[in-house]
Amino acid sequence: MDQGMARGWRYGGCRLRLLPRRPLAREEAELSAGARVRTFVALAEDRRRDIVRKTKDGLEAARRRGRVGGRRPVVDDDKRAAILARRQRGESIRTIAAGVKVSIGVVHKTLTAAQAEQQP
């Protein structure tokens, strides 16, 4: 970056100030760039580990308080019974989905789960 460009440059509330120094030899410049890249990679990995740890800690704290995340199931016991009864009568999955007001995938998943429960 040109020193003239960087004199008044601000980033995140911090002002960038370049200090004058001797020009680096080509080998030193390449080594320096590689070291900078490795440093940035290490910092990014460390930040990622912090985020993962904090997320897991937060989920565990919520679990201890009785708060479990995730979507609530679409099919309750009444809808499940209706889906299974309609399928017993021979209705198609599309007809069942339209009648119970759920998606075709939900009906298919419910039927597959019910089949798996019946088989040992």
Q: What is the pLDDT of residue 9?
A: 53
Residue 43: both structure tokens together: 């910092």
Local confidence band at 3 (pLDDT 50, 70, 90 cut-offs): very low
Total of domains in the chain: 2
Q: What is the pLDDT of residue 60?
A: 92
Residue 65 sits in the same domain as residue 89? no
Which residue has better confidence, 20 or 78? 78
Neighbour count for residue 107 (Cβ, 10 Å): 25
> pTM, whole model, 2 decimals?
0.47
In a domain, 14, yes or no: no
Three-state SS for 39-89 is HHHHHHHHHHHHHHHHHHHHHHHHHHCCCCCCCCCCCCHHHHHHHHHHHHC
Residue 93 sits in the same domain as residue 64? no
Cα separation, 9 vs 4, in Å, equals 10
Domain residue limits at 94: 77-118
Q: What is the pLDDT of residue 24?
A: 63
113-116 long-range Cβ contacts below 8 angstroms, 24+ apart:
114/80, 114/84
**Residue 45: left (phi > 0), alpha (psi -120 to 50), or beta?**
alpha
Query: What is the average pLDDT value for the chain, to the nearest integer?
Result: 82
